[in-house]
Amino acid sequence: MSNAVPVLREPDALPQPYLLFLGDTTEPGYAKTAFGLRDWAGERCVGEYACAGASVSTGLPAMTPAQARLAGARAMVIGVANPGGRIPGAWLPLLIEALQAGLDLVGGMHARLSGIESLRNVALAHGRRLIDVREPPPGLPVASGRKRSGKRLLTVGTDCALGKKYTALALARAFRSRGLDADFRASGQTGILIAGEGIPMDAVVADFAAGAAELLSPDAEPGHWDVIEGQGSLSHPAYAGVSLALLHGSQPDVVVVCHAHGREHVLGHPHYRLPTLEDTIDLALRLGSRTNPAIRCAGVSLNTAGLDEAEAQRAMGEIAARLGLHVADPMRGGEPFARLVDACLA
């Protein structure tokens, strides 16, 4: 491997604005990086670009890399988080096109841009950078289990790609709007691209994952809140390990359970039904109490994107009555979300 291609790993030095690359995606849940950047860093996004056959769109203007460069873009970000974090061969001509057009490439996949010889060669020839943000910091510790100062909230979910990041971002913003000292703590590639810092939990060696979660939310002032982005699901057949490490290491005082209304099966695993909200809450509290016996559930964040306003309010009300907890869609806001924030801070 040539060392001549500069590989940048410091998220705060990312070249902006971005062209969002959607690959050949046909499942919106796998384009969560693109949607997250559109919704939480829209001022840094100039357009989107995709392979022929892709059916997912962020609604941003479709642009070629050359057009995006003329519009001011400095990098093309891979906006896909597919199973296994792979970079298919069919994407390579389009990634090379972006480099040739004068754009750096930013990736958050498990597959490293810097590990693909054809991309390294073109980047070197055109003086472009290959930037991999799914790179954990060196020297991560094994978890100590020591209780840390400050307050912590973790979003947990019934599945992947249903709103844990959005909920954490919305809660952190709401806490700050009330005059509280609060930080969003990113634990995945999209959150890192939005926040400019964080630790990609699913790229950490298993023995150090809970230690990474401790490092992600260090000791803080007593009134400070770290609002930590959750990953995966404790009931996921593939990703429960990272979810448990994050739960144990973050030692949350509060959890908010996230669920997508109407979803019945695990995304990408149709033979696995989702756990109930009751089971999800019970499992999170039982496992979380190992490192924080005072853990509690403040309520449910319900993704109601497929419902109209009346349907959404009815769904939230029914679940709230069933669970005896506050239920809100953070993207709709309003009084239900204000009550959920109250419950988090109670």
**Tens digit of pLDDT for each residue in 300-335?**
999 999 999 999 999 999 999 999 999 999 999 999
- At residue 29 the predicted structure's pLDDT band, cuts being 50, 70 and 90, is confident
Q: The domain that contains 27 carries what CATH number?
A: 3.40.50.720
Residue 163, Ramachandran bin (φ over 0: left; ψ between -120 and 50: alpha; else beta): left
- At residue 84 the predicted structure's pLDDT band, cuts being 50, 70 and 90, is confident
CA distances from 283 to 129, 235, 276, 277, 286 (A): 43, 9, 11, 10, 5
Number of independent structural domains in the chain: 2
Domain assignment present for 188 = yes
pLDDT at 103: 98
pLDDT at position 85 over 50 = yes
E strand residue ranges, the chain: 18-21, 45-49, 75-78, 104-107, 130-132, 151-157, 182-185, 225-228, 254-260, 265-266, 269-273, 296-303, 326-328
Q: The domain that contains 158 carries what CATH number?
A: 3.40.50.300
Which of 132, 163, 191 is the C-terminal boundary of a domain?
Answer: 132
Which positions ≥6 away from 75 have C-beta within 8 Å? Answer: 14, 15, 16, 17, 18, 19, 103, 104, 105, 106, 131
In this structure, the answer to whether residues 237 and 323 fall within a common structural domain is yes
In this structure, the answer to whether residues 195 and 341 fall within a common structural domain is yes
Mean pLDDT in residue range 137-164: 96
pLDDT at 14: 86
In this structure, the answer to whether residues 128 and 158 fall within a common structural domain is no
In this structure, the answer to whether residues 240 and 199 fall within a common structural domain is yes
Instruction: Residue 15: give the domain boundaries.
Output: 11-132
Strands 265-266 and 269-273 turn out to be antiparallel
Domain assignment present for 170 = yes
Per cent of the chain over pLDDT 90 is: 90
Which of 63, 98, 132 is the C-terminal boundary of a domain?
Answer: 132
Domain assignment present for 174 = yes
E strand residue ranges, 93-243: 104-107, 130-132, 151-157, 182-185, 225-228
Domain assignment present for 207 = yes
